[in-house]
Amino acid sequence: MTKITGILGHPVAHSKSPELHNGWYQKQNLDFDYQSFDVPSTKLAQFFSELPNNLRGLSITVPHKENVRQFLSTESEAVQTIGACNTIIRNLETGSLHGENTDWQGWLAAIKQQSSINLSTATILVIGAGGAAKAILYALKQADASSVSITNRTFAKAVQLAKQFQFKAQSLSEINNQFELIINCTSLGLKADDPSPVPQELITQQTTISDLIYTPTKLEQICQEQGATYINGYHMLLEQAKLQHKLFTS
Ligand code: NAP
């Protein structure tokens, strides 16, 4: 019987995941089908009570990365530390659900592939303090990063994350140093007219910007003008999806 996988979120129509996963299934001649499950939070419990017998795995996106944890039988240490699950693997025999997080691994793979930055010695600024920021901070911890500052619009959240990951919180107004790597983990850039989340004076020819957003943004445009290195969020999306593919089909 065809094994079903898919993306669970709300909304999901914009997602590039079905194209990626179904492309791999076709290329490798696998009897799998990747579908889109657009489920609002109010219908999440019903969705999990009616999972089809041939469902093998799910990619989880906004706004369910935290909420799905209540339906899992087991979860990885990364899911527990990050507090968010972006991948569910279902045991086809027992029906039990295991939670994983491939976002942090996908980001690490992408940054290694797209830059020569030494994360353990680089000066790094993380902007944002939501679920994606936590995955990046976890990745930075795994990579032994030692000089990491966190900033966020709601500064109290940056302070809380700095405490959890033993990094430093810095408000944007008090920053007067340059960073080798700046990571945009905010949702700024999703909308075409969003402003850049990174102050222009922090972007020089020596700066590398890793943006989690993968549509064209104001930040990308400024990087081009300033001669900075810009790494688009598509690389992370692709690398984390490759890891999900391995988990779903192994
Ligand atoms: P989230 O939990 O909702 O967090 C959003 C973050 O953006 C918060 O820090 C929030 O600050 C900040 N923010 C929102 N609007 C802002 C504004 N107008 N000005 C300044 N800061 C603002 O979302 P998330 O799950 O962390 O995801 C963040 C982004 O990463 C999303 O766009 C998502 O699509 C992207 N993402 C990409 C990948 C990939 O593979 N490329 C993977 C995961 C996530 P406050 O705390 O002050 O609200």
The pair of structure tokens assigned to 47 is: 């969705």
pLDDT at 14: 87
Q: What is the mean pLDDT of each run of 10 residues along the chain (250 residues)?
A: 97 94 98 98 98 98 96 98 97 98 98 97 97 97 98 97 98 92 96 94 97 95 98 97 98
Determine whether 65 is an active site residue. yes
Angstrom CA distances, 91 to 33, 54, 59, 158, stand at: 17, 10, 15, 37
Q: Ligand 1 pocket by C-beta < 6 Å: which residues?
A: 62, 103, 128-133, 152-154, 157, 185-188, 190, 197, 212-214, 233, 236-237, 240
The model carries a pTM of 0.95
CA of 103 to the centre of ligand 1 (A): 14
* Closest CA to ligand 1's atom 31: 187
pLDDT at 73: 98
**Measured on CA atoms in the order 240, 244, 247, 250, is the torsion positive or negative?**
negative
The pair of structure tokens assigned to 226 is: 């300033």
Paired residues of 89 in beta bridges: 57, 98
- With contact defined as beta carbons under 8 Å apart, do 227 and 206 qualify? no
* Closest CA to ligand 1's atom 29: 187
